[in-house]
Chains A and B, each alone.
Chain A
Amino acid sequence: MKSDIILSGVGGQGILSIAATIGMAALENKLYLKQAEVHGMSQRGGAVQSHLRISVNEIASDLIPLGKADLIISVEPMESLRYLPYLSKEGWLVTNTTPFVNIPDYPEMENVISEIEKLPHHIAINADEIAKRVKSPRSSNMVMLGAASPFLDIPYECLENGIKKIFGSKGEKIVNVNIEALKAGRKFAIEHTPVASKR
């Protein structure tokens, strides 16, 4: 088993929490893990990405080679497209459809969506709306992780355990809010994507 995942979004959207949750889950499964993150200047509202690699075998590079990613998980739609050169032919793109507009030349939303829909394997999900619906408005990142969970070779329960470990220090309420968001994202993906439901 080997999973190469690119996480993308805008600084402050919580991709590092997604990475940390998957990381904890991978550790629980005694898998090898390498996760390269972006710190520093870009965290101030710039484009950010994280390379996350999980494997039963020892992992060499901290960076995923071009064309080798199995999955892109993006909390922002335009950002999901920035990393397409990394996605393999068989890879899946799972993205939020709520844009984060902090630049004057942000493209027309319908054009962004049509680029996403050109891809053979994609799930587009309005994570912000789902997060609000389950009363976890600030957990759209966990909705996205839930939506991508059928494509991870990690038992779903381990992700919930991961959330408990990552957010445990912030109190039970925060843990539950994030788990609700995770569940809702997973449910959406399974209901709307036949392939996801088989996984």
Chain B
Amino acid sequence: MEKLLLLGAEAIAQGAIDGGMSGVYAYPGTPSTEITEYVQKNKTAIEKNIHRNWSANEKTAVEAALGMSYAGKRAMACMKHVGLNVAADAFINSAITGVNGGLVVAVADDPSMHSSQNEQDSRFYGKFSMIPMLEPSNQQEAYNMTYEGFELSEKLGVPVLIRFTTRLSHSRAGVQRKEIKNQNQLSYPKDPIQFVLLPFNARKRYNSLLGKQALMEEDAENSKHNIYYEGKDKSLGIIACGIAHNYLIENYPNRDCPYPILKIGQYPMPFSKIEKIVNECEEVLLLEDGYPFVEEQLRGFLNKSKKIKGRLDNTIPRAGELNPDHVAKALGKEVKAGLNIPSLVANRPPELCLGCAHRDVYNALNETMKEHGKQKVFSDIGCYTLGALPPWNAIHSCVDMGASITMAKGAADAGVHPSVAVIGDSTFTHSGMTALLDCVYENTSVTVIIADNATTAMTGGQASHATGRLEEICIGLGVKPEHVKVLTPLPKYHGEMVKILREELVYEGVSVIIPRRECIQTVTKSKKEKKVKTEEII
């Protein structure tokens, strides 16, 4: 089999395709988007008719993947870390139902919040749901773990969580492929009520999950992903999880680390290997890219055991992405940085593209809101969140997918008027529809601006479920048709936009304004693609 140059995310996708997956389910989210995009473009996946369309959100993705598993086939759901919050209900309960076909849930965490609102560590979810977790250190392991993840899931009868971070997801390296496995045949669960979580059966299923814990522990104990490297100098032992192991080895280019090392790539935490390193070493250093997950458990609440070093005692900074320099300092090695950054170097934050429709929306909104006072605009997650920055300073919240509408509702309930929400088309169908229904149910006075650029723009222009059906959705949810207004956000229509906004902002009830113009990035991309195709034809 050939060797490919793949991003960590792509390695997961290729591993799943080669591992006999019948469907991937996901909602785009940095740094996980490239998994599904890779499957969508992959020849084998297309030939084998592997399901690869986007889902409305992460919860629907996990549920659909669970349905495919119910039908005996191998499925994968992918998301970013905060997406697992959205999917948590389905995810936690899928551990109780267990699986039929292998089910892999691949979650990309984002330490340092390169493109996220927090840096939560998904390993807590793995422990919470009591299922096995895999944490690759490099692209090859990302491939192997996904490839083998389906079998592990089928062997233990539960979903398997693959946890990785931004750095691995967005870093490229050579990956050796394995032979392509066949997809599973359609089959039903042996027990017809396996997936019926009525209390009488849920208690049975939960006991079955508890009963499997010993098996999971044994599997992790003997896993090739949990490796103990002997070391002569027992003054220190090092536990390195996932990608942290790379940063450790970077500091020993000749692979001559004198200390014992335990590399962890599979959870539950391997008991006897951890016991060994703690017993034989004077101190133990924890290297984890994320929260101090293993560290906290080794320390214990009273911290009466041996000296455990890591993020909790500031040997490693408490927040942010791990890197080889943090590890060097923790090992007492000197870090010789180059020259300082000259003071004239200015920050360069991201910005709305030139020609972006959101610019026109914010220009009109800001002009209108001048008449109503400050801090009455709630927003959401997407490119338009950049409207929080100068020169617009137009929005005052960005919390989680869909929160703009519901926060505007709560603020309206508290007496804020006008109370405005700015949300994107894709974010609206992800999690804004039920929020709008809450407003309709109580006829709350809110103005909801659904900035429709016909794509999921921030993650690179994936298809949006909202395209072509926004008005119908809003009217279907009960918004009065005369208060669903569609605008074209262009500088030449500025006056008209201001006029309509002005009218709707004072309306006592639910109004939806849809400024609609395609994302400037996807317009340019499709023009380029058309040009290439025309040239090819000529």
Residues of A within 8 A of B (CB): 10-11, 23-24, 27, 32-47, 51, 59-63, 65-67, 69, 78-79, 81-82, 84-89, 91, 102-103, 105-108, 111-112, 115, 119, 169-171, 173
Task: Give the contacting residue for B323; candidates A34, A40, A63, A79; CB below 8 A.
Answer: A63
Enumerate 8 A-B pairs (CB-CB under 8 Å) in ascending A order.
A42-B114, A61-B247, A63-B324, A78-B344, A78-B346, A86-B337, A103-B349, A112-B344
Residue from B168, B172, B352 with most neighbouring chain A CB atoms (10 Å): B172
Contact A45 B346 (CB under 8 A): no
Contact A45 B351 (CB under 8 A): yes
Contact with A along B527-538 (1 / 0, CB 8 A): 000001001100
Task: Give the contacting residue for B34; candidates A39, A108, A173; CB below 8 A.
Answer: A39
User: Is B515 interfacial (CB 8 A cutoff)?
Assistant: no
Contact B114 A41 (CB under 8 A): yes
- Which residues of B298-346 are within 8 A (CB) of A? 323-325, 328, 335-342, 344-346
Contact with A along B358-388 (1 / 0, CB 8 A): 0000000000000000000000000100100
Residues of B within 8 A of A (CB): 5, 7, 30-31, 33-34, 114-115, 167-168, 170-174, 243, 246-247, 249-250, 253, 323-325, 328, 335-342, 344-353, 383, 386, 458-460, 532, 535-536
B-chain residues with CB within 8 Å of residue A86 when the two chains form the complex? 337-338
Contact A88 B338 (CB under 8 A): yes
Query: Considering the chains assembled together, what is the distance between the CA atoms of A33 and B340 in angstroms?
Result: 28
Contact A60 B250 (CB under 8 A): yes
Closest 9 CB pairs of A and B: A40-B30, A40-B115, A46-B350, A61-B250, A60-B249, A62-B171, A107-B344, A36-B171, A66-B337
Shortest Cβ distance from B352 into A: residue = A44
A-chain residues with CB within 8 Å of residue B243 when the two chains form the complex? 62
Query: Considering the chains assembled together, what is the distance between the CA atoms of A35 and B458 in angstroms?
Result: 22
B-chain residues with CB within 8 Å of residue A61 when the two chains form the complex? 246-247, 249-250, 323-324
A59 to chain B, nearest CB (A): 8
Shortest Cβ distance from B321 into A: residue = A63
> What 14 additional pairs, Cβ within 8 angstroms, besides A10-B348, A46-B351?
A34-B171, A38-B170, A41-B30, A41-B458, A44-B458, A59-B173, A61-B249, A62-B243, A65-B250, A65-B325, A78-B344, A82-B341, A84-B341, A171-B535
Contact A107 B325 (CB under 8 A): no
Query: Considering the chains assembled together, what is the distance between the CA atoms of A79 and B247 in angstroms?
Result: 26
Task: Give the contacting residue for B171; candidates A35, A67, A81; CB below 8 A.
Answer: A35
A-chain residues with CB within 8 Å of residue B352 when the two chains form the complex? 44
Task: Give the contacting residue for A103; candidates B115, B340, B348; CB below 8 A.
Answer: B348
A89 to chain B, nearest CB (A): 7
Task: Give the contacting residue for A107; candidates B34, B341, B346, B383; CB below 8 A.
Answer: B346
Contacts A40-B459, A66-B338 given; does A81 touch B350 at CB 8 Å: no
Query: Considering the chains assembled together, what is the distance between the CA atoms of A45 and B173 in angstroms?
Result: 26
Task: Give the contacting residue for B345; candidates A11, A35, A78, A108; CB below 8 A.
Answer: A78
Shortest Cβ distance from A169 into B: residue = B532
Shortest Cβ distance from A55 into B: residue = B253
Contacts A45-B351, A65-B250, A103-B347 given; does A33 touch B173 at CB 8 Å: yes
Shortest Cβ distance from B253 into A: residue = A60
Contacts A45-B350, A61-B246, A63-B324 given; does A85 touch B170 at CB 8 Å: no
B-chain residues with CB within 8 Å of residue A47 when the two chains form the complex? 347-348
B520 to chain A, nearest CB (A): 11
Query: Considering the chains assembled together, what is the distance between the CA atoms of A82 and B341 in angstroms?
Result: 6
Residue from A23, A40, A63, A85 with most neighbouring chain B CB atoms (10 Å): A40
A-chain residues with CB within 8 Å of residue B347 when the two chains form the complex? 47, 103
Query: Considering the chains assembled together, what is the distance between the CA atoms of A89 and B336 in angstroms?
Result: 10
